[in-house]
Structure 1
Amino acid sequence: MSHASSAALASWSSGLCGCFSDVPNCCLTFFCPCITFGRIAEIVDNGNTSCGSACAVHAILGCYTGCGCLLSCLYRSKMRKQYMLKKSPCEDCLVHLFCGMCALCQEYRELHIRGYDKHSRGVTMAVPKPEGGMSR
């Protein structure tokens, strides 16, 4: 990658170790990382992958092979390309291999900060709240 194209890449909105800035998501990811992964996959795939199916695939892969991080790594790469995010702090697969839960928390926080939210009926954009009241 050339220096000019790397300058166009954005930094993540929060750090890899910023898990406790979203305690509910941190706890959910700690106890059931497949659910956080499912939410991320549904948003990154623009609703073409359901949260439930992505969650199941991640859980099965993790339970039977111990390699759920490989699937998570692929989605981190896909998400980085969509939002032009830097590889940080290192290659995507290394981040998921050594800090998988922190990576899932960071990815979900990034999507949430960008206005995406997962609801029971698919992916929606959060509507920005107007500042102040209406005036004439």
Structure 2
Amino acid sequence: MSWPVRRQPSPLIVSSVEAEWASRICDCCDNKKECCFAFWCCPCFACKTTKRFGQCLCLPLLDIFSCCHPITMSMRVSVRHRYSIKGSLCKDCLCSTFCLPCVWCQMSREMNEQQLPTVFSDIFNR
């Protein structure tokens, strides 16, 4: 016995238009409170921002032990992809290596601009 199709699947619409960052990498003074927090305690600020993004709270602490910052770079790439922001892996790597607090501030400002909802982890549902 076959069931009649009552509704056809709707097409997936993907935008090919890429946006710019809401603020530049050195626009830290746009939010002085976050800027000071990131400058004086970057690991704490990075953990807070990572948690807001829906990732593991302690993930940025892995960056402490290396001269390059793979977690910061991957978070920046992830933010770019989520919000369809122009950029390149090379630029993400350079920014993450030389401007660490500025990168975290920029990602936080972008999430504020995009009004990212709070993500609750399902760790207790396993």
**TM-score over 0.5 for the pair:** yes
Counting only pairs closer than 5 Å after superposition, residues 60-79 of structure 1 correspond to structure 2 as 60-62=62-64, 64-67=65-68, 69-79=69-79
Give the distance between the partners of 2:82 and 2:75, measured in 1 at CA.
10
Partner of 2:40: 31
What runs of 5+ residues in structure 1 fail to find an aligned partner?
118-122, 125-136
Q: Kindly provide the amino acid, as one letter, of the partner of residue 99 in structure 2.
A: C
Sequence identity percentage: 26
Q: Is the 8 A contact 2:73 2:96 kept in 1?
A: yes
Give the distance between the partners of 1:19 and 1:102, measured in 2 at CA.
6
- Asked if 1:114 corresponds to 2:114, the answer is yes
Query: 1:110: how far off?
Result: 0.6
Q: Is the 8 A contact 2:23 2:109 kept in 1?
A: yes
Counting only pairs closer than 5 Å after superposition, residues 1-136 of structure 1 correspond to structure 2 as 5=16, 8-44=17-53, 46=54, 48-49=55-56, 51=57, 53-54=58-59, 58-62=60-64, 64-67=65-68, 69-87=69-87, 91-116=91-116, 123=118
Q: CA RMSD in A?
A: 2.3
More strand by share: 1
Higher RCO (Cα < 8 Å, 6 or more apart): 2
What runs of 5+ residues in structure 2 fail to find an aligned partner?
1-15, 120-126
Query: 1:111: how far off?
Result: 0.3
Q: What is the TM-score when the length of structure 2 is the normalising length?
A: 0.70
Q: Kindly provide the amino acid, as one letter, of the partner of residue 27 in structure 2.
A: G
Give the distance between the partners of 1:78 and 1:60, measured in 2 at CA.
17
Partner of 1:134: none
Say how many residue pairs are matched.
Answer: 104
Query: 1:60: how far off?
Result: 5.0
- Tell which structure's C-alpha radius of gyration is larger: 2
Q: Kindly provide the amino acid, as one letter, of the partner of residue 31 in structure 1.
A: W
